[in-house]
Amino acid sequence: MRAVDVFVDGLDLDKLGFVGVQSLDTGRPGYHPGMMLKLYIYGYLNRVPSSRRLERECQRNIEMIWLTGQLAPDFKTIADIRKDNGKAICEVCREFVALCRKLDSLVAASVAIDGSKFKAVNARDKNFTEAKMKRRLERIDESIARYLSQLETADRHGDAVPEAKVERLKGKIEKLKEETVRLNAINAEI
């Protein structure tokens, strides 16, 4: 926590674009952006992203009490500092990376991973392995055989089977043949 304290105190917050660095002459001064930035960085380092949880941490966590100088802003104030100073916080991150490079903490072989989560699509129809392809093609062949046998049954029974059912079965067979062609093309790529 001392490193965060020293780092933030060494920044020129006004130059970085933080709102409220210089207090207005009227009214009571708000929380200093430096203290709020320390709070934000603490939350990032300790995986406490919620402004409501950060508010609770300010009241109970001894590290946070020391870091904020016994100040306990409410969750709305914490949320507003992120909203109002988003660009400036990005600048602070850039300054931190520059500092790490200057201290040789980051080298070309270093890899950093944060807690970011990205929405990904790994749907069954988009994910293929050789074994999956083989099983899917076998299932399609089984379905085609089943539909063909149903068509043969319909032919034997003649007019007792409605024409709509026969057309529907023929349509299913065509779709399965198209799917087989598509899967064979993907299998060739694999």
The whole-model pTM stands at 0.52
pLDDT reading at 162 higher than 80 = no
pLDDT reading at 33 higher than 80 = yes
Residues ≥6 apart with Cβ < 8 Å to 23: 29, 30
* Distance, CA of 152 to CA of 131 (rounded, Å): 32
Residue 106: what pLDDT? 63
Residues ≥6 apart with Cβ < 8 Å to 41: 4, 7, 8
Mean per-residue pLDDT over the chain, rounded? 80
Residue 107: what pLDDT? 63
Residue 108: what pLDDT? 61
Residue 161: what pLDDT? 61
pLDDT digit string, tens, across residues 48-98: 888 899 999 889 989 888 988 898 888 888 888 888 888 888 888 778 777
pLDDT digit string, tens, across residues 114-153: 666 767 777 777 777 888 888 888 888 888 788 778 777 7
